[in-house]
Amino acid sequence: MCNKQPWMNCRVAGWCAALMMLALPLAAETVAPPADEPAPVLDEEVQDLKAQVLNLNHELFLLEEELLFPANTQVAVFLSMDIGEYFDLDSVQLKLDGKKVSNYLYTKREVSALHRGGVHQLFLGNVKTGEHELVAVFTGLGPQGRQYRRGASLNFKKDIGAKFVELQITDREIKQQPEFFVREWE
Amino acid sequence: MRSPWGDRRARAAAILAAALLLVAAPGWAGKPERLVVQDPHYGEVLFHFYQKDDFTALTHLMAAQAQSRVSNHELDAELLLGGLNLEYGQHREAGRIFNRLLAQVDDPAIRDRAWFYLGKVRYQRAHFAEAEDALRQVGGKLPRSLAAEYPLLMSQSLMGQGRYDDAAAVLDGWKGPADWTAFARFNLGVAQVRSEDLQAGARALNRVGKMSAPTPELKSLRDKANLALGYAWLQVNDPEAAREALERVRVLGPFSNKALLGVGWADALQAEYRRALVPWLELRDRDLLDSAVQESLLAVPFAYGSLDAHGSAVDAYLAALGAFDAEIFRLDIAIDRARSGELVPALLDADDPEIARWYWQLNAVPSSEDARYLYHLVADHRFQDGLRNYRDLLALYNHLDDWKEKLGAYQDMLDTRAQAYAERMPSVEAHLADVNLEAMHARRDDMVTRLDQIEATRDIAGLADATERQQWELLTELEQSPAWSHPGAAEARDKQRVLKGLLQWKLDREFRRRLWQQRREIASLDAALAEADRRAADVYAAREEIPVELDAYRERIAALRPRLESVQGGVMVALGGQEAALQLFAVRELEAQKERMATYRIQARFALATIYDRASGTVADRGSADQ
């Protein structure tokens, strides 16, 4: 058996090497092979599989929309936010021709996505051609953290093509108040 | 020849770190960049993209492109499609998209972003030099989020080529988010230590080891840096520097066991065995699954031995042997259970599938006898990533299952529509047969002709109403009566003449108004007839088109069904493979634990035997001396 010091050095060296290797744990699946090695077959297979699922999913998605919401009756309502510093959105209730069609509660992550420019499709449905009324009620916290509840409405005419309506929450700098608009998306 | 970067594991470590950083990307928002959305469906894709729901974002973007609903963001949409493919692990498709953009687009801003993403694709494929080439093609200003990521990617690509000085120079000039810089510096430090440039490595690790760490992730990284630095100093026999770094590791953090072991080694290297016993004895009572604790079971008797406390050393070795034996027994049982195949599904029993991929991490394990082994397994990033992939595949499988169910429902819906069509058609046909639109048009034309004649001849009686017409006819008929010219009828003739005159005057006075009214009635009739024509055309068209449309939908469903089955079968196979790999990983890890324990047991026995030999040799020497 080696004497004390070399034995200890031996242990320390082993631990150092091991720790340097484990300084960052490895993730087999996220690690790409070096440039001079071919990509693993499994990775290629999973990529192919995911590509197949994506293509299939996209076709199924189109089929579903065309079947359930054909363009001649389709109406979609989107919610967007422009700045939105004076309003912390909680929920939006939507009524179409007096009938409640959506009551959506927003998560923090969704609100953050709206702040960054994302647009939420709040409602997708069918209406007949002709005149309709859309009423949206926004609930949340207004300036100084007070409970805030405001409504906005729009009368619109549904023609043969799909109709897209935008609910927009924006800031009115002069009054330091939020503003809510409902309009047809142009 | 080995690359200066070292082996593949080291490169992989760097890649993982970058992956972690990129995961953290949403946190580097500052004030978020905003884009003016012109197409609602593009904004809708961004809504999912910003929530890291890449699969939904990709699907919706592909659908929106197919429906020409993102025409105002055509190039942005293409870049986003490439970026989403990249995030979703579709490197080949992402590379194809960015190369296509570079070949087709002259706009410098778009080209810069395409080069950036292409660099990222190449980097993720570990094509480091090519990644650097692509990144160097970025000539102008990138959007802020990409500009923040650029130096990180560049430094990682340089590290991948072993060009640590260049990487350090990039990081030194980088004003990126603190957590990103810290991760990159840590990677750099570890790489430099591994390439035996300890001074440079220590500089990088020291900066991370002394940083303020407001988040749990950064605290953990700081501990890792101090641990790596401490052991690096131990390796070059500088126990004081090692102790300084190791003492910065948090006592209650996940790396405290290894730090305590290292502090003990630092003391032992200075022959301070009594002092070394303090951290090692503290370690001895902790969970034996930790390799540092296992090591302490041998280190403690080693210290006793060095202090010539051989009795205590023997006791400590015997206690270690008992602990190793008990643990090996428990590990055997755990290995059997892991082999049974229940491990992976049990881990995901309480999973919330709503959590997006990048946010997901298994934080709790099922309460079972194996829980303490599972905690060690799930703490391993390899296992976590494997589990994340398994979860991805499971989500795809369930997603496809949902589609199968939906397709069944849509098929039923189409059948119902076809049945309703077949049932309604006879009554519609009968109704269409009853309504003779041509006759209506002919009557309308006849009316217009008559009105034109009335107007042309100023036939005022032609516009009289039924009563007036009756009166007019009566008054006119009187003139034809045989008694009309009778002298006794003079008074009657006068009356007739007055009345006829009055009626004529009334009809003449109202002629224009009545003519205008009739024209207006005809215009209204024309509108009603046009509406009837349109509706009839719709009905005729629907009669022809509905069966064709229903057949087309049925054909699409019929074509999608086998593809759905086939892809789901493929996912099932991959799922099985992933589950088997995870199971194998778990079994191997547990076996490695057992093997390590067995090795420690041999070492303990050997050391014990040596002490006994020495003791018996001493006794024998004494005996022979006595004799």
Q: Tell me the pLDDT tens digit for each residue of B447-497.
A: 999 999 999 999 888 889 999 989 988 888 888 888 888 888 888 889 989
> Encoding tokens for residue B128?
């480091």
Q: Flag whether A175 is in a domain.
A: yes
Classified as helix, coil or strand, B314 is helix
Chain A, residues 8-37, CB within 8 A of chain B, namely 8-9, 11-13, 15-16, 19-21, 23-35
Contacts of B196 in chain A (CB under 8 A): none
Q: Is B172 exposed, middle or buried (0-12, 13-18, 19+ CB in 10 A)?
A: exposed
Nearest CA in chain B to A78: B40
Q: Flag whether A2 is in a domain.
A: no
Contact A32/B43, CB-based, under 8 Å? no
Q: How far apart, in whole angstroms, are the C-alpha atoms of residue B536 and residue B542?
A: 10
Q: How far apart, in whole angstroms, are the C-alpha atoms of residue B163 and residue B481?
A: 128
Contact A29/B386, CB-based, under 8 Å? yes
Query: What whole-number percentage of chain B has pLDDT above 70?
Result: 89
Q: Flag whether A59 is in a domain.
A: no
Q: Flag whether A7 is in a domain.
A: no
Q: How far is A97 from chain B (nearest CA, A)?
A: 23
Backbone angles phi, psi at A88, to 5 degrees: -105, 105
User: Which of B501, B496, B492 has the alpha carbon at shortest distance from B460?
Assistant: B501
Q: What is the pLDDT of residues B148-175, one digit of tens each?
A: 788 888 988 888 888 888 888 887 777 7
Backbone angles phi, psi at A87, to 5 degrees: -145, 125
Q: Which residues contact residue A67 at a Cβ distance below 8 angstroms, ignoring those fewer than 6 apart?
A: B410, B413, B414, B553
> What's the pLDDT at B33?
56
Q: How far apart, in whole angstroms, are the C-alpha atoms of residue B227 and residue B242?
A: 9
Q: Which residues contact residue A34 at a Cβ distance below 8 angstroms, ignoring those fewer than 6 apart?
A: B3, B8, B11, B126
Band (pLDDT 50/70/90 cuts) for residue B28 is very low
Q: What is the pLDDT of residues A95-129, one digit of tens each?
A: 999 999 999 999 999 999 998 889 999 999 999 98
Q: How far is A173 from chain B (nearest CA, A)?
A: 18
Query: What whole-number percentage of chain B has pLDDT above 90?
Result: 41
Band (pLDDT 50/70/90 cuts) for residue B134 is very high
Band (pLDDT 50/70/90 cuts) for residue B389 is confident
- Kindly state whether A108 is in contact with chain B, defined as any CB-CB distance less than 8 angstroms: no
Find which of A29, A79, A111, A121 to mutate to test the B interface (most B CBs within 10 Å of its CB).
A29
- Kindly state whether B360 is in contact with chain A, defined as any CB-CB distance less than 8 angstroms: no
Q: What is the pLDDT of residues A120-145, one digit of tens each?
A: 999 999 999 899 999 999 999 988 88
> What's the pLDDT at B142?
86
Structure-model confidence comparison of residues B369 and B190, the more confident one: B190
Mean pLDDT of B434-448: 89
- Kindly state whether B546 is in contact with chain A, defined as any CB-CB distance less than 8 angstroms: no
> What's the pLDDT at A101?
96
Contact B224/A23, CB-based, under 8 Å? yes
Report pTM. Answer: 0.70
Residue B465 to residues B452, B462, B471, B508, Cα–Cα distance (Å)? 18, 9, 10, 13
Q: How far apart, in whole angstroms, are the C-alpha atoms of residue A103 and residue B470?
A: 67
Q: What is the pLDDT of residues B41-71, one digit of tens each?
A: 999 999 999 888 888 999 999 999 999 999 9
Using the Cα atoms of residue A65, residue A69, residue A72 and residue A76 in order, give the sign of their dihedral: negative
- Kindly state whether B481 is in contact with chain A, defined as any CB-CB distance less than 8 angstroms: no
Structural domain harbouring A151? 87-184
Q: Which residues contact residue B610 at a Cβ distance below 8 angstroms, ignoring those fewer than 6 apart?
A: A1
Residue B553 to residues B224, B338, B540, B547, Cα–Cα distance (Å)? 59, 47, 20, 10
Q: How far apart, in whole angstroms, are the C-alpha atoms of residue B554 and residue B558?
A: 6
Q: What is the pLDDT of residues B591-611, one digit of tens each?
A: 988 998 899 899 899 989 988
CB B382 within 8 A of CB A26: yes
Band (pLDDT 50/70/90 cuts) for residue B20 is very low
Contacts of A118 in chain B (CB under 8 A): 43-44, 46-51
Q: How far apart, in whole angstroms, are the C-alpha atoms of residue A33 and residue B203?
A: 30
Q: Closest partner residue to A29 among B51, B93, B389, by Cβ? A: B389
Q: Which residues contact residue A89 at a Cβ distance below 8 angstroms, ignoring those fewer than 6 apart?
A: A81, A106, A111, A114, A138, A140, A169
Amino acid of residue B379: A
pLDDT tens digits for chain A (186 residues)? Answer: 345 566 677 777 777 776 665 554 322 223 333 333 433 445 677 778 888 999 999 999 999 999 999 988 999 999 999 877 788 899 999 999 999 999 999 999 999 999 888 999 999 999 998 999 999 999 999 888 889 899 999 999 998 889 999 999 988 877 778 888 898 986
User: Which of B355, B46, B20, B34 has the alpha carbon at shortest distance from B177?
Assistant: B20
Q: Closest partner residue to B89 among A20, A50, A80, by Cβ? A: A50
Residue carrying the six token digits 């910065």? B248
Q: Flag whether A13 is in a domain.
A: no
Classified as helix, coil or strand, A160 is coil
Q: How far apart, in whole angstroms, are the C-alpha atoms of residue A113 and residue B627?
A: 92
- Kindly state whether A7 is in contact with chain B, defined as any CB-CB distance less than 8 angstroms: yes
Q: Tell whether the model's pLDDT for residue B355 goes beyond 70.
A: no
Between strands A74-82 and A163-172, the pairing is parallel
Q: Tell whether the model's pLDDT for residue B432 goes beyond 90.
A: no
- Kindly state whether B31 is in contact with chain A, defined as any CB-CB distance less than 8 angstroms: no
Q: What is the pLDDT of residues B72-126, one digit of tens each?
A: 999 999 999 998 988 887 888 899 999 999 999 999 989 999 999 999 888 877 7
Contacts of A29 in chain B (CB under 8 A): 382, 385-386, 388-389
Contact A80/B43, CB-based, under 8 Å? yes
Backbone angles phi, psi at B465, to 5 degrees: -85, 180
> What's the pLDDT at B350?
60
Cα A82-A85-A91 angle, rounded to 5 deg: 75
Residue carrying the six token digits 């006075």? B509
Q: What is the pLDDT of residues B230-272, one digit of tens each?
A: 999 998 889 999 999 999 999 888 889 999 999 999 999 999 9
Classified as helix, coil or strand, B60 is helix
- What size, in residues, is chain B? 627
CB A182 within 8 A of CB A166: yes
Q: Flag whether A134 is in a domain.
A: yes
Task: Answer left, alpha or beta for residue A171, where phi above 0 means left and psi between -120 and 50 means alpha.
Answer: beta
Cα A152-A153-A155 angle, rounded to 5 deg: 165
> What's the pLDDT at A125?
95
Q: Flag whether A166 is in a domain.
A: yes
Contacts of B300 in chain A (CB under 8 A): none
> What's the pLDDT at B263?
95
Nearest CA in chain B to A57: B59
Mean pLDDT of B187-200: 83
Structure-model confidence comparison of residues B114 and B21, the more confident one: B114
> Encoding tokens for residue A133?
């009324």
Number of H helices, E strands in chain A: 3, 8
Classified as helix, coil or strand, B360 is coil
Q: How far apart, in whole angstroms, are the C-alpha atoms of residue B490 and residue B496?
A: 10
> What's the pLDDT at B225?
92
Amino acid of residue B45: V
Query: Based on the structure, what is the number of domains in chain A?
Result: 1
Tell me the pLDDT of chain B averaged across its residues. Answer: 84
Classified as helix, coil or strand, A136 is strand
- CA end-to-end span of chain B: 66
Q: How far apart, in whole angstroms, are the C-alpha atoms of residue B73 and residue B62?
A: 13
Q: Which helix (H) or strand (E) holds B612?
A: helix B511-626
Backbone angles phi, psi at B81, to 5 degrees: -60, -45
Q: Flag whether A73 is in a domain.
A: no
Q: Tell whether the model's pLDDT for residue B357 goes beyond 70.
A: no
ipTM: 0.86
